[in-house]
Amino acid sequence: MSINNFIDLRSDTVTVPTNEMRAAMAQAEVGDDVLGEDPTINRLQEMAAARMGKEAGLFVSSGTMGNLIALLTHCGRGDEIIIGDSSHIFINEAGGSAAVGGIHPHIVPTQRDGTLRLEDVAAAIRSDDEHHPITRLIAIENTHNRSGGTVLTAEYTQQVADLAHGHGLVLHIDGARLFNAAVALGIDVAALARAADSVTFCLSKGLGAPVGSVLCGSQAFIKTARRRRKMLGGGMRQAGILAAAGVYALDHRVDRLKEDHANARRLAEGIGRIPGLCVDMAAVQTNMVYFDLSDDLPFGAVELCRLAEAHGVKMFDVAPRTIRAVIHCWVSSAEIETTLQILSEVTKL
């Protein structure tokens, strides 16, 4: 099951397409998508919109591009967006919305469970004063990556949407792993997306496609988003070959995410039993395990990752004493056990 002979837990972005997915890609009907004539892309966009409970969808090259296009579509230069201080948009998207769109980020603290406190968001909304930027949008992230892959509920999402709409703002969801959230909650993904004005989700993470995300929203929103995508050079041509992997993923790879969640829990429980390592089990809700090195271990996260890699397990050090392990379809339950053995071995003093 491993990828290139490693148990690769760095991210679910490392997943490679299965033979069945590759066959679907090879057989895809294609056309010029800038002219709207790629039947496979059109199909993926329709499927995605239907799943999200939105009118329309737009196939984009990545989660980062989906978020950027959403922000460029909702906001103008000098407008302000309210986002979490540990959101992917704030930390990991190269400042794209500021660089490309002149959009001003107003950050509020992300809580341990990945939510933003409604009071903090409300306090961040600007008053009508010519000194201020104009608040235009609130963005939340579900699942929340840096909080451990934590799940935001439909009720919470609705509360943020009500707050946004009550102030004439829009709500965008970075739903890179929204299907993980829906599977963890055992609900229809549309229940998590419905209240938002736009949502983007990734095909190239736990769903196992090699490329792509879909941005969904109203017909009018997607019409403008298409123009923004073109502006960014993201108008692809016969990309139905890529979209076919997405269609296959939506048809065949969603329900199995629960296996990844079960494996993540098994890994977390095992790590919790290894002296020198600690896990906050409350944060292990989907396919991610963030764990800390206790002070008595004489080395840090970089060194532990290096030792584990030398034994065939790749992980990312995300802070000096914190490591992230992400479970996906190329990690078997047997490899969870192997990983635990290796971690016990390399942390022995």
Part in contact with ligand TLP (CB under 6 A); list of ranges 57-65, 124-132, 151-159, 300-308: 57-65
169 or 326: whose CB is closer to ligand TLP? 326
Number of residues in contact with ligand TLP, rule: CB under 6 A?
14
Smallest separation, CB 154 to ligand TLP (Å): 18
Does position 268 interact with ligand TLP (CB under 6 A)? The reply is no
* 3-class SS of residue 212: coil
Q: Using the rule CB under 6 A, which residue among 2, 42, 92, 322 binds ligand TLP?
A: 92
Smallest separation, CB 213 to ligand TLP (Å): 6
State the Cα–Cα distance between residues 65 and 236, nearest whole angstrom: 13
64 or 73: whose CB is closer to ligand TLP? 64
CB atoms inside a 10 Å sphere around CB 219: 10
Does position 62 interact with ligand TLP (CB under 6 A)? The reply is yes
State the Cα–Cα distance between residues 157 and 144, nearest whole angstrom: 13
219 CB contacts (<8 Å, ≥6 apart)? 55, 56
137 or 202: whose CB is closer to ligand TLP? 202
Q: Using the rule CB under 6 A, which residue among 2, 6, 11, 31 binds ligand TLP?
A: 11
State the Cα–Cα distance between residues 73 and 56, nearest whole angstrom: 14
Does position 145 interact with ligand TLP (CB under 6 A)? The reply is yes
Q: Using the rule CB under 6 A, which residue among 202, 222, 305, 327 binds ligand TLP?
A: 202
180 or 347: whose CB is closer to ligand TLP? 180
Part in contact with ligand TLP (CB under 6 A); list of ranges 62-70, 132-140, 248-256, 268-276: 62-70
User: Which backbone phi and psi does 208 adopt, to 5 degrees?
Assistant: 85, 5
State the Cα–Cα distance between residues 49 and 216, nearest whole angstrom: 6
Residue 54 · residue 193 · CB < 8 Å:
yes
State the Cα–Cα distance between residues 145 and 131, nearest whole angstrom: 34
Distance of CA 264 to the CA centre of its chain: 17
Q: Using the rule CB under 6 A, which residue among 2, 13, 153, 218 binds ligand TLP?
A: 13
79 or 141: whose CB is closer to ligand TLP? 141
Helix/strand/coil (H/E/C) assignment for every residue in 124-190: HCCCCCCCCCEEEEEEEECCECCCCCECCCHHHHHHHHHHHHHCCCEEEEECCCHHHHHHHHCCCCH
Interface mask toward ligand TLP for 155-194; x: CB under 6 A: -------------------x-x------------------
Smallest separation, CB 207 to ligand TLP (Å): 12
Which residues of this protein are in contact with ligand TLP, per CB under 6 A? 11, 13, 62-64, 88, 92, 141, 145, 174, 176, 202, 204, 213
